[in-house]
Structure 1
């Protein structure tokens, strides 16, 4: 009987101890949100464009004899790219030169006749009408000579076009015609394209509302542009790496695209190593001055999800609360928070992964949390 009572007593002690045992609050380090001057960063998708691009088209009719360049290599302005069969053009030039020689001979003959008649008309050996007719014939011969000279110049130019040259310096693309193919000046057959890749342009398409809001904040003094109105741009490539050279906005479209409601911004980047290629999509971070009274947080305080970013906030009762935030880019190892937080709130910097929403936590400054066990 005593054993049974002891067993019952032992069973009664277990629940009392379990009820009295509670999990200690998780220790987290927090940073108090303070309003300060932070970079005004706007992240936009962009597309790389060649600073100059030239389509090389046929300016003479004929058969392509040879391709004179290596596809995908840099060529100098005026470098030969293709050779068109020149024999027909050479024959046309010879024909034009023959017509020029004939016109010169005819003009010389008529000039002699006019000179003789000029002396005879003074002696009244011929009528004035005959002299005027000779004078008119000389003017016609002079015009025919000019026409023949123009034909020679045109034929010479056509023969020169048989060697297709690069109109600008840059990287020559894939050949659009093959040796033996027929090209036409009338249809302006596309032969290749040349792109200048250093420097390059990157174009962005922000909404007009974004630009208007930015201009309004600048006018109100909430945003200050440094270095006059120069806007610096950094790029994030499609593999996630940072492009090492910053660019600068050099053009802003003054009209709005009626189909999309966007305006075009264009930035210029040095591209000596040719990492940026025309058509490549990138993400640009535009540094639009500084925001007075902005908010920033350390990178480690932000939890990046698939559809949104969030932070863990400690309220006045010491309870962890998850808060979605809108980010506006990174600067100096900190995220710029565009919305979702107010000055004075406590944000968990370290240890937020140990706290669940609604759980009580023990908040302490980052230095104390770092020095603790």
Structure 2
């Protein structure tokens, strides 16, 4: 019995010793070498930009179609047989280049006939004029009756009128002969020929022989809504749109690389649609613009004004609220709710909530919370590193970084 009690006591002492060893191990692992509290977590590295105001322009964007400045339907002015087509379908031609030739022989014969009639009329006028001159001398000597003199004067006048009629007939015949050679009235691109050699055409043809469009400049035509029209400055609203910035991009182009000018505002708004017809004029140096192409048009609205712009990555979302994180002089993060305006290509206009000089976190927003201590790195507003020698972050957007509405 004593031996059993001794073994029980020995086992209890061994358990106590084991528990004490575990507690000592835990204390040795969790306690720093020098004693005291554990070291604080390292500061989070973030990129910070200084808020600045800058001049921006509000933009309105529209969809439209390209239209030719000049479009001409080529129709025959005389009837006859086509003897020659001088162009390739779809070719570029200059003003005055020949397009079609109609058989000129009947019209040349008409010119010759008119010329002969003019010659005869001129000869008759010369004879009657000389006869009238003799009658005037005889009348002075009372050697001719007054009635005979009047007849000769009337004959001379009729001969002169026949000369004028013959001259007009000759001019008309020459004009018809000239119209047998159809030339380009403008410089531009010609469509396909609707009639080929050997076909008889008539001056009353309902279908044109071909069409031509100018290519050096084209219109971008679109519809502007009433509110946008009312927001335009006075000069633009009256049609003097030389100072209104207008740019355009085709369906396969990024942004709006083509610059133009406002050329036309219609004289009234359509009450059914609430829009007004607008045209912007664009140069076509590379010849890529064609009538009918889809065009994205960006039109400046109003005068430039001061605003704050931030990248989308610097703006957080808290349910229905939008916010940014500010860094103060002690490198402590704070929450700031902001009101946003329009957006353009990754930039957002901040309408309220920020002031010039505020330090905003532009990279690393997801890694921080209000009250955290951070290690800020000063960068530009777009998140790029400052260039050597920059004393302060430059404004974020490029010179044309303007937003749309």
TM-score (norm 2): 0.65
CA-to-aligned-CA distance 1:31-75 (integer Å, 9 cap, x gap)? 999876432111111221222222222111112111101222221
The 5 Å alignment of 1:223-372 reads 230-242=243-255, 244-292=257-305, 294=307, 296-298=309-311, 313-314=322-323, 327=342, 329-330=344-345, 334-337=346-349, 342-344=352-354, 362=369
CA-to-aligned-CA distance 1:285-305 (integer Å, 9 cap, x gap)? 1233555354534255799xx
Deviates more, 1:164-173 or 1:111-120: 111-120
1:148 aligns with 2:187: no
Aligned residues between the structures: 319
The 5 Å alignment of 1:41-190 reads 41-187=59-205, 190=208
3-state secondary structure, aligned to 1:203? strand
| RMSD value, Cα | 4.2
Q: 2: CA distance between counterparts of 1:201 and 1:50?
A: 6
Query: Does the 8 Å contact 2:121/2:159 carry over to 1?
Result: yes
3-state secondary structure, aligned to 1:190? coil
Deviates more, 1:110-119 or 1:284-293: 284-293
Q: 2: CA distance between counterparts of 1:311 and 1:46?
A: 35
Q: Give how far 1:180 is off.
A: 2.4
Cα distance 1:139–1:287, how it changes in 2: closer, same or farther (>3 A)?
same
The 5 Å alignment of 1:11-30 reads none
CA-to-aligned-CA distance 1:310-352 (integer Å, 9 cap, x gap)? 9983499x99x9x99774544xxx4355x9x743499996689
The 5 Å alignment of 1:203-222 reads 203-215=221-233
3-state secondary structure, aligned to 2:153? helix
Q: Give how far 1:149 is off.
A: 0.8
Q: 1: CA distance between counterparts of 2:86 and 2:242?
A: 47
Query: Does the 8 Å contact 1:311/1:347 carry over to 2?
Result: no
Cα distance 1:201–1:187, how it changes in 2: closer, same or farther (>3 A)?
same
CA-to-aligned-CA distance 1:61-100 (integer Å, 9 cap, x gap)? 1121111012222211111010111122122212212221
Q: 2: CA distance between counterparts of 1:137 and 1:170?
A: 54
Cα distance 1:282–1:125, how it changes in 2: closer, same or farther (>3 A)?
same
Larger Rg: 2
Structure with the greater relative contact order (CA < 8 A, sep ≥ 6): 1 or 2? Answer: 1
TM-score (norm 1): 0.70
Q: 1: CA distance between counterparts of 2:112 and 2:224?
A: 59
Query: Does the 8 Å contact 2:46/2:377 carry over to 1?
Result: no
CA-to-aligned-CA distance 1:125-168 (integer Å, 9 cap, x gap)? 22111111111111111011111011111101110110100111
Q: Give how far 1:109 is off.
A: 2.6
Q: Give how far 1:199 is off.
A: 2.3
Query: Does the 8 Å contact 1:38/1:296 carry over to 2?
Result: no
Query: Does the 8 Å contact 1:233/1:246 carry over to 2?
Result: yes
Query: Does the 8 Å contact 1:301/1:311 carry over to 2?
Result: no
Cα distance 1:247–1:131, how it changes in 2: closer, same or farther (>3 A)?
same
Q: Give how far 1:209 is off.
A: 2.3
Query: Does the 8 Å contact 1:314/1:347 carry over to 2?
Result: no
CA-to-aligned-CA distance 1:266-292 (integer Å, 9 cap, x gap)? 222221111111111111112335553
3-state secondary structure, aligned to 2:276? coil
